[in-house]
Structures are given as C-alpha cells and as structure tokens.
Amino acid sequence: MNLETLREYCLEQPGVTEELPFGPDTLVFKVKGKVFLLTSLDSPQFGFNVKCDPEKAIELREKYPDVLPGYHMNKKHWNTVNVNGSIPGDLLFEWVKESYDLVVKSLPKKEQATLIK
C-alpha cells in the first residue's frame, strides 16, 4: 500500500470527501463530515490514523508492533498504523473499511440512509 492506493480506496467508499483542514501536510478523509482516516503528506514514514473498536485497538497494538495508539488522537478509539510491509495489505484495507464503517454507524439513521452501498 502507498499513499495513492490508500487515497483511491478511501474515495471509493460512499459519501467520502478528502480535505486538508489542518494545513497542507495532513490529508483527512471524511464520510458525511466525520473523520475516519488521517495521513501525513510530509512524514518520512508512510502511515495513517484510523478509528477502531477500543478492545480491538488494544489487540492490534499487542499483535503488531507497527500499530500504535493514535498519534494526536483519542488513544482509546484511534490507532496509528505504520505502513512498511510488516502488515499484509489486505489487513490494512480491512482496517480502513472498519474505520469507515464505525463512523457511518455513528451517523444519524437519516444520514446513513443516504449512503448507497
């Protein structure tokens, strides 16, 4: 996975927008205005922050050294994932989708209904 494949995957999800609300160095993906993924555009190490179920977040941190508590985020609900080849790509995409799904679940039912699946 690289930045472009991550970007393409995020934008394939229904209702997703990409923004730079924190300046030109942090790319943020939102669904219906709610953040589900952030990534740095200027870091020497490619990685991203994703939302995660709190119990699963702990499990992933224990299992994968490149999964850390969310940098500059609520450590209970967010993980930072360093992408360097140590974690299979299919898992990375799965975690992005889980983050998206968690955010969609938190939206009002009316907003959820507008997302075509």
Q: What CATH code would you report for 3-106?
A: 3.90.1150.30
Pairing of strands 67-69, 78-82: antiparallel
Helix (H) or strand (E) holding 30: strand 26-31
pLDDT recorded at residue 116: 67
What pTM does this model have? 0.93
Q: How confident is the model at residue 117 (pLDDT cuts 50, 70, 90)?
A: low
DSSP letter (8 states) at residue 41: S
pLDDT of residue 14 exceeding 60: yes
Tell me the average pLDDT of the chain: 93
The residues with which 35 forms a beta bridge, in sequence order, are 30
Distance between CA atoms of 86 and 33, rounded to whole angstroms?
A: 32
Distance between CA atoms of 72 and 69, rounded to whole angstroms?
A: 9
Helix (H) or strand (E) holding 8: helix 3-12
DSSP-derived secondary structure for 51-111: E--HHHHHHHHHH-TTEEEPTTS-TTTEEEEE-SSSS-HHHHHHHHHHHHHHHHHHS-HHH
Mean pLDDT in residue range 24-53:
95
pLDDT of residue 47 exceeding 80: yes
Name the residue ranges covered by the structural domains of the chain: 3-106
Query: What tokens does 110 get?
Result: 């009316």
